[in-house]
């Protein structure tokens, strides 16, 4: 068992026990929020045929060189309609957006630039070849347009549909159990007695787990009792992984650490991180388990920097198109922000863009118990161990997206 590991070491160690990656096929109607398990190739050319980008008239450009040219209307091309007639010199065909370009036409005049005169059309504006959408100009058959590991969000699911995929091979959502621990915890909405607090971590962690493409199995919080903890962990072993919060520090009542030491398999305990020093990782009778700190800021921050990369790398999420919660950026500090001796320091910052720069400032008390700091801010510094950030410094940060 390692103690006091760096973030990189913690990620490496946790990846020796990855989440298992399984796949399944789902209909496109149910694919929203899922992650592609294979690259998706286009089954069609897009567009499949030359068509019009405008409502107007399909013409020969050479017939429209003089303003006011009069052309005979020989037919109509409608989206989804029958093949339009071929046009010859001095002729035009009415055309709708998306409708097939008639043979013989090489340009489109927008409807706004025309006037109808009986069975003729008067051309008052430019005839443009650029208003034709050419076959396969967006995608060609066999093109790999959506990589494996992509989140199926609004645009990517539309792309999958455009490419003709009625069913999509996706990663099976792993089930991740979430268990808060602590005698003092009460579910929000109930009456508090003296010394009790509302339990919030499990709700935040469930939301993060779902955003990372997994199913959150939230268990009611466990009391600080070894027997209750053992029974609850055993009951959660049907899940693919377990996240606990609380009970991993040095105290006598930090029973998650104790039970993992005595009855589980512990790979590391404590990280060189502030906030978020006490986490542990190992497995409970074969099920990977992260013991996250109880302090609300710490448990969220450790999810962002440790658990989220573990999920993403276990499941082979694509670095750019896969689900992710943070983006690494460089920010300019608007004030001095102190680092931490020997630890990577994740201060909460508010990042805003001004004059082409990302500026970072702090706005609330930075205590690891103050969850308000995670809402009043939208980023975390990545100040290396022993480094203080000074006003004007450019430093690495994570933007919470």
Under the criterion CB under 6 A, does residue 309 sit at the interface with ligand AMP?
A: no
Among 246, 275, 323, 339, binds ligand AMP (CB under 6 A): 246
Residue in this structure with the two tokens 């971590």, named with its chain if needed: 201
Q: Residue 366's binding partner, choosing from Mg ion, ligand AMP, none, with beta-carbon cut-off 5 to 8 A by kind?
A: none
Among 132, 199, 264, 279, binds ligand AMP (CB under 6 A): 199
In angstroms, what is the minimal distance from the CB of 340 to ligand AMP? Answer: 18
Which of residues 246 and 309 has its CB atom nearest to Mg ion in the complex?
A: 246
Among 36, 245, 308, 362, binds ligand AMP (CB under 6 A): 245
Under the criterion CB under 6 A, does residue 52 sit at the interface with ligand AMP?
A: no
Which of residues 74 and 292 has its CB atom nearest to ligand AMP in the complex?
A: 292
What is the Cα–Cα distance from 305 to 277, expressed in whole angstroms?
12
Q: Residue 46's binding partner, choosing from Mg ion, ligand AMP, none, with beta-carbon cut-off 5 to 8 A by kind?
A: none
Which of residues 33 and 369 has its CB atom nearest to ligand AMP in the complex?
A: 369
Residues in contact with Mg ion by CB under 5 A are: 182, 246-247, 294
Residues of this chain, 91-110, that bind ligand AMP according to CB under 6 A: none
In angstroms, what is the minimal distance from the CB of 270 to ligand AMP? Answer: 13
Residue in this structure with the two tokens 């995929």, named with its chain if needed: 165
Q: Which tokens hold the place of 196?
A: 């009790």
Task: Candidates 13-21, 97-105, 154-162, 176-184: pick the segment binding ligand AMP (CB under 6 A).
Answer: 176-184
Under the criterion CB under 6 A, does residue 197 sit at the interface with ligand AMP?
A: yes
Under the criterion CB under 6 A, does residue 182 sit at the interface with ligand AMP?
A: yes
Task: Candidates 108-116, 199-207, 325-333, 338-346: pick the segment binding ligand AMP (CB under 6 A).
Answer: 199-207
Site track for ligand AMP across 261-300, x = CB under 6 A: --------------------------------xxxx----
Which of residues 47 and 276 has its CB atom nearest to Mg ion in the complex?
A: 276
Under the criterion CB under 6 A, does residue 225 sit at the interface with ligand AMP?
A: no
In angstroms, what is the minimal distance from the CB of 207 to ligand AMP? Answer: 13
Cβ atoms of residues 304 and 279 within 8 Å: no
Phi first, then psi, for residue 345 (nearest 5°) are -110, 120
Cβ atoms of residues 246 and 293 within 8 Å: yes
The helix-helix angle for 226-235 and 255-263 (nearest 10°) equals 70
Task: Candidates 142-150, 152-160, 169-177, 244-252: pick the segment binding ligand AMP (CB under 6 A).
Answer: 244-252
In angstroms, what is the minimal distance from the CB of 205 to ligand AMP? Answer: 9
β-bridge pairing 379-381 and 348-354: antiparallel
Cβ atoms of residues 72 and 119 within 8 Å: yes
In angstroms, what is the minimal distance from the CB of 268 to ligand AMP? Answer: 17
In angstroms, what is the minimal distance from the CB of 251 to ligand AMP? Answer: 6
Q: Residue 295's binding partner, choosing from Mg ion, ligand AMP, none, with beta-carbon cut-off 5 to 8 A by kind?
A: ligand AMP
Among 74, 185, 206, 345, binds ligand AMP (CB under 6 A): 185
Site track for ligand AMP across 103-142, x = CB under 6 A: ----------------------------------------
Q: Which residues bind ligand AMP (CB under 6 A)?
A: 180, 182, 184-185, 197, 199-202, 245-247, 249, 293-296, 369
């Amino acid at each position: 068992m390692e103690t006091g590991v760096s973030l990189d070491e913690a990620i490496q160690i946790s990846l020796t026990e990855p989440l298992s990656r399984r796949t399944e096929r789902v209909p496109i109607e149910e694919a929203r929020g899922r992650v592609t398990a294979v690259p998706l190739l286009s089954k069609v050319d897009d567009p499949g045929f030359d068509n019009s980008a405008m409502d107007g008239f399909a013409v020969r450009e050479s017939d429209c060189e003089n303003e006011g040219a009069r052309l005979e209307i020989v037919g109509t091309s409608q989206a989804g309609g029958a093949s339009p007639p071929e046009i010859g010199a001095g002729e035009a065909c009415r055309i709708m957006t998306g409708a097939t370009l008639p043979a013989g036409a090489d340009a489109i005049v927008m409807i706004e630039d025309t006037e109808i005169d009986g069975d003729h059309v008067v051309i008052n504006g430019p005839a443009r070849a650029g208003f034709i959408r050419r076959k396969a100009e967006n995608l060609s058959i066999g093109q790999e347009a959506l990589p494996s590991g992509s989140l199926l969000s609004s645009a990517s699911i539309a792309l999958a549909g455009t490419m003709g995929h009625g069913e999509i091979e996706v990663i099976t959502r792993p089930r991740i159990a979430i268990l808060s621990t602590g005698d003092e915890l009460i579910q929000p909405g109930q009456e508090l007695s003296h010394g009790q607090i509302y339990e919030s971590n499990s709700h935040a962690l469930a939301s993060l787990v779902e955003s990372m493409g997994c199913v959150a199995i939230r268990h009611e919080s466990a009391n600080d009792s070894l027997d209750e903890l053992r029974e609850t962990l055993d009951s959660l072993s049907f899940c693919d992984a377990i996240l606990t919060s609380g009970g991993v520090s040095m105290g006598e009542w930090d029973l998650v650490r104790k039970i993992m030491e005595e009855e589980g398999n512990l790979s590391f305990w404590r990280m060189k991180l502030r906030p978020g020093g006490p986490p542990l990782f190992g497995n409970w009778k074969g099920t990977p388990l992260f013991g996250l700190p109880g302090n609300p800021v710490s448990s969220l921050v450790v999810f962002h920097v440790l658990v989220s990369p573990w999920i993403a790398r276990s499941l082979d999420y694509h670095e750019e198109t896969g689900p992710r919660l943070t983006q690494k950026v460089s920010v300019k500090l608007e004030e001095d922000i102190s680092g931490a001796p020997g630890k990577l320091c994740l201060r909460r910052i508010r990042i805003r863009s001004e004059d082409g720069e990302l500026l970072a400032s702090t706005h609330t008390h930075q205590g690891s118990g103050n969850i308000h700091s995670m809402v009043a801010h939208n980023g975390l510094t990545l100040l290396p161990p022993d480094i203080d950030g000074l006003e004007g410094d450019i430093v690495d940060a994570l933007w919470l997206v």
